[in-house]
């Protein structure tokens, strides 16, 4: 997920929803701080959050950089800092991937 200083409030709400309220927990939440000079002390702290500073604000595409370091069976889910996700968002996505994988095996 990318965020900018102007969306600090909505980002904090989304981070809480993803980290603490999902029916399927995430392993890590990579956050690109576009336009930030430092990691603001008011931002959420959690061992699963990995902050990446991007003072020049290269845009939302930088969130895909993490894909370069994924293991073969890792799953990357991208999020926006201004959408309020349902509590089953991660679980629903994983279920859909499983359903698709099962359909591919049967075909």
The enclosing H or E element of 10 equals helix 8-20
pLDDT of residue 105: 66
Give me the sign of the Cα torsion angle 19, 23, 28, 32. Answer: negative
CA dihedral 63, 64, 65, 66 (to 10 degrees): 90
pLDDT in tens, 9-58: 999 999 999 999 999 999 999 999 999 999 999 999 999 999 999 999 99
The fraction of the chain above a pLDDT of 70, given in percent, is: 97
**Residue 8 phi/psi, 5° resolution?**
-55, -45
pLDDT score of 101 more than 90: no
- The beta strands (E) that lie in 1-107 are given as 2-3, 29-34, 49-54
pLDDT of residue 49: 97
């Amino acid at each position: 997920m990318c965020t900018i200083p102007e969306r600090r409030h909505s980002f904090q709400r989304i981070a809480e929803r993803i980290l603490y309220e999902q029916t399927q927990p995430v392993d890590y939440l990579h956050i690109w701080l576009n336009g930030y000079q430092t990691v603001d002390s008011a931002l959420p702290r959690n061992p699963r959050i990995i902050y990446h500073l991007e003072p020049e604000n290269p845009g939302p595409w930088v969130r895909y950089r993490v894909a370069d370091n994924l293991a073969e069976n890792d799953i990357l889910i991208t999020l926006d800092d201004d959408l309020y996700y349902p509590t089953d968002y991660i679980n629903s996505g994983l279920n859909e991937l499983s359903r698709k994988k099962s359909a591919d095996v049967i075909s």
